[in-house]
Chain A
């Protein structure tokens, strides 16, 4: 059983550019959650997708958007990049709303640097 995989591993972008990060969920999991972890901080919840619909959002501006595909993989898109968007972006998948809370296991993350 494969876990959560994220790509790319590292990314360097320039302020004002747009970026897309990708996440493949664990087999059988229909819910994907994205988190941002700035240096020295704990991860912060960005949003969650359940069966291709956004299911909750943290305190992030609209330039952070996402998608979930029929195979439950997901993308995180960030427009108009700012220097403060430099962070480790983490993805986690889980079995779904019908299941009891199951612990989240994160992928290896994407390290985004905005210059």
Chain B
């Protein structure tokens, strides 16, 4: 059974702080990892993807991947109230082309 686990939250952080979102996955053969942001009532929006161990930075976002520990994280620096949303971690099936397994998401609340 391929699984992706996330804490449901809510994760509450003050404006300007760093938000840290975590995800673990069960399929050791997975090679591609994605973070989506989803506002209430909207479809998921891709914000980061990472394929290699280590860190990948894009603006205020940093994705971190540790394949040995089967762990992916997303850091959001200088959090803004507009970052308040549900963050979905997704992992590509090992050997599957663009077939993603999603976690249930972590709800982030950034308060002024």
- Residues of chain A whose beta carbon lies under 8 Å from any beta carbon of chain B: 31, 33, 35, 37, 40-45, 48, 50, 55-56, 58, 88, 90, 92, 94, 97, 101-109
Contacts and interface: CB of A to CB of B under 8 A. Distances in A.
B17 interface: no
B101 interface: yes
Contacts, number: 65
Nearest to B92: A101
Main secondary structure of the interface of A (DSSP, over half): strand
Q: How big is the B interface, by class?
A: 20 to 34
B4 A42 contact: yes
Contacts of A102: 98
Classify the secondary structure of B's interface with A: loop
B49 interface: yes
**Which of A37, A41, A42, A103 neighbours the largest number of chain B CB atoms within 10 Å of its CB?**
A42
Interface string B72-112: 00000000000000001010100011111111110000000
A104 B104 contact: no
A103 B96 CA distance: 13
